[in-house]
C-alpha cells in the first residue's frame, strides 16, 4: 500500500468542529462564462507560436449534422487538418467534434498587436481559461490563471492550456532526498494578507514519476500530490523553518487528508530527517479520491472565516471549521496567504483552468 510519506507530520492532533457533508452535494456555481478570461496558444506549421487573447468570442462550425457557434470558453483544443479545411475540436468536457469553418482566419490580441493567422498556417490551438478576481496577482516569473507563480525545486512551463512541471531539477537548486528537498512545487502569493477569504478552482493532474527524472527509484505506479492554501510562510528548502499552511494531501491509493502545520521543516543543515514543527492539526481525512493520472481531477476549495470546504469532481469531501485559524502558533497565524500545487517526491504534476475568487 502506498503511504503518504512525502508529507511531513508533527505536533498534536486537535479536535475541530466538522459539518456533515452530503456525498452528492454539488457546489454552487456562477454562470458558466461569468468573468472568464481566455488565453489562446496558436502553434503554427512553421514552428512559430503566438500567445494572446482571442479577438472573437466564439468559433462558428459546420458539422455533418448541425451548425454551431461554440463559445471559446468551451473549447480546450483544436487540431487543424488538411491545411485548414477541417478541424478536430476537443471541448472542456471531453467531447470531440469534427467540423469545417465558415471563415479562414483566427484573430488574436497579442503582445505586439492584433494578428490574424490563416487556418492553413495553423497546426494547433489550445485554450486556457480563468475567472477574473479582485485578489492581487502577486509576484513571480510565470503568469497563468490570472496570478503570478514561482517554480520551486523543478522548472515549470506553460504547455498549451496547462502549467506543467518539467522532469529535472531547477537550475541552482540542491535537489534530492539527501539535499534540500524533492518534489515539484508551484507557489503564488505566499504570506499575502489580502488573500484571506477565497475560492480556488482548478483541474489538477498528478502523473507520477517520469523515467527521465527518477533519481531515487520510485515505482512507476507511485503518484501523490497536494494543494496548499492559506500559506502564510513557506521555503523552497525543507531545511529552512517556515512551512506554515493548510494542506489537502492526496495519495495514489485514494486516501486524502486535510491538515495544517506551523514551521514544519527538517531541523538539520541538509537532507531529510529530524523533522518537526511548532504545531500540527488534522482536520479531516478519508478515502475514495481516485486520482486520474491521465485527465486530472477537478478541485474546489473554499475558505471563508474559519470554515473550509473541499470538493473533488463536484463531490464534497470536507466541511470543517477550524477555530484555531486565527491563533498564533510558533509566531504564525494561518488566516491568510496564497496557494501552491505540490507533487509528491518526483510525481510530476500539471494545472489547468485554475481560477481564484474572493469570497
Model confidence pLDDT, tens digit, residues 48-64? 999 899 999 999 988 88
pLDDT computed for residue 10 by the predictor: 32
pLDDT for res 6: 45
Q: Which of the residue ranges 68-72, 270-274, 339-343 would you say has the lowest mean pLDDT?
A: 68-72
- pTM (predicted TM-score): 0.78
**Cα distance between residue 312 and residue 290, in whole Å:** 9
DSSP 329: B
pLDDT at 16 over 80: no
Least confident of 60-74, 124-138, 161-175: 124-138
Chain mean pLDDT for the chain:
89
Q: How would residue 93 be classed by pLDDT, with cut points 50, 70 and 90? A: confident
Sign of the dihedral through C-alpha 41, 42, 48, 52: negative
Asked whether 269 and 276 are in contact (CB, 8 A), the reply is no
**115, 117, 122, 124: CA torsion to nearest 10:** 30
pLDDT confidence of residue 39:
84
Is pLDDT above 80 for 25?
A: no
The yes-or-no verdict on residue 243 having pLDDT over 50 is yes
**Amino acid 76: pLDDT:** 86
Residue 102's pLDDT is 77
| Alpha helix (H) residue ranges in 177-336 | none
How far apart CA 327 and CA 334 sit, in angstroms, is 8
**Across 326-338, average pLDDT:** 96
Ordered by where they begin, the domains of the chain are 17-29+132-358 (2.60.120.560), 38-129 (no CATH)
- pLDDT for the residue numbered 38: 86
C-alpha 278, offset from chain centre: 28
Listed range (34-38, 165-169, 204-208) with the worst mean pLDDT = 34-38
Bridge partners of residue 230, in order along the sequence: none
Three-class secondary structure of residue 120 per DSSP: helix
pLDDT given at position 132: 65
Q: How far lies 194's CA from each of 135, 227, 261, 308, 321, in Å?
A: 7, 19, 21, 17, 21
Residues in CB range of 175: below 8 A, 6 or more apart: 153, 154, 169, 181, 182, 215
Query: For residues 244 and 75, what is the distance between their CA atoms, to the nearest angstrom?
Result: 37
pLDDT of 139-157, one tens digit each? 999 989 889 999 999 999 9
* Residue 147: Cβ-neighbour burial (10 angstroms; 0-12, 13-18, 19+): buried
Name the percent of the chain lying above pLDDT 70: 89
Q: For position 82, what pLDDT does the model report?
A: 83
The percentage of the chain sitting over the pLDDT mark of 90, rounded to a whole number, equals 73
Q: Torsion over CA of 58, 352, 40 and 146, rounded to 10 degrees?
A: 100
pLDDT tens digits, one per residue of 171-181: 999 999 999 99
Amino acid at each position: 500500500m502506498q503511504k503518504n510519506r512525502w508529507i511531513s507530520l508533527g505536533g498534536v492532533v486537535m479536535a475541530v468542529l466538522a459539518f456533515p457533508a452530503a456525498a452528492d452535494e454539488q457546489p454552487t456555481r456562477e454562470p458558466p462564462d461569468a468573468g472568464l478570461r481566455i488565453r489562446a496558444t496558436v502553434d503554427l506549421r512553421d514552428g512559430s507560436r503566438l500567445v494572446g487573447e482571442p479577438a472573437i468570442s466564439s468559433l462558428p462550425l459546420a458539422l455533418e449534422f448541425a451548425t454551431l457557434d461554440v463559445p471559446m470558453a468551451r473549447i480546450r483544443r483544436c487540431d487543424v487538418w488538411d491545411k485548414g479545411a477541417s478541424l478536430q475540436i476537443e471541448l472542456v468536457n471531453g467531447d470531440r467534434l469534427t467540423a469545417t469553418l465558415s471563415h479562414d482566419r483566427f484573430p488574436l490580441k497579442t503582445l505586439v498587436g492584433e494578428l490574424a493567422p490563416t487556418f492553413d498556417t495553423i497546426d494547433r490551438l489550445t485554450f486556457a481559461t480563468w475567472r477574473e478576481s479582485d485578489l492581487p496577482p502577486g509576484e513571480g516569473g510565470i503568469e497563468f490563471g490570472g496570478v503570478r507563480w514561482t517554480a520551486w525545486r523543478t522548472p515549470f512551463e506553460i504547455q498549451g492550456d496547462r502549467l506543467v512541471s518539467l522532469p529535472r531539477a531547477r537550475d541552482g537548486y540542491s535537489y534530492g532526498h539527501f539535499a534540500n528537498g524533492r518534489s515539484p512545487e508551484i507557489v503564488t502569493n505566499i504570506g499575502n494578507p489580502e488573500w484571506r477569504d477565497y475560492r480556488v478552482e482548478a483541474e489538477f493532474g498528478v502523473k507520477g514519476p517520469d523515467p527521465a527524472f527518477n533519481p531515487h527509484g520510485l515505482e512507476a505506479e507511485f503518484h501523490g500530490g497536494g494543494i496548499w492554501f492559506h500559506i502564510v510562510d513557506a521555503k523552497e528548502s525543507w531545511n529552512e523553518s517556515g512551512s506554515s499552511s493548510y494542506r489537502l494531501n492526496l495519495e495514489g491509493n485514494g486516501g486524502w487528508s486535510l491538515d495544517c502545520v506551523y514551521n514544519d521543516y527538517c531541523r538539520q543543515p541538509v537532507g531529510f530527517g529530524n523533522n518537526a514543527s511548532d504545531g500540527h492539526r488534522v482536520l479531516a481525512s478519508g478515502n475514495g479520491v481516485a486520482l486520474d493520472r491521465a485527465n486530472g481531477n477537478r478541485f474546489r476549495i473554499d475558505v471563508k472565516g474559519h470554515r473550509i470546504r473541499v470538493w473533488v469532481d463536484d463531490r464534497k469531501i470536507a466541511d470543517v471549521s477550524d477555530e484555531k485559524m486565527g491563533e498564533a502558533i510558533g509566531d504564525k497565524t494561518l488566516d491568510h496567504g496564497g496557494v501552491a500545487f505540490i507533487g509528491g517526491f518526483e510525481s510530476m504534476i500539471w494545472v489547468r483552468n485554475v481560477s481564484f475568487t474572493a469570497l
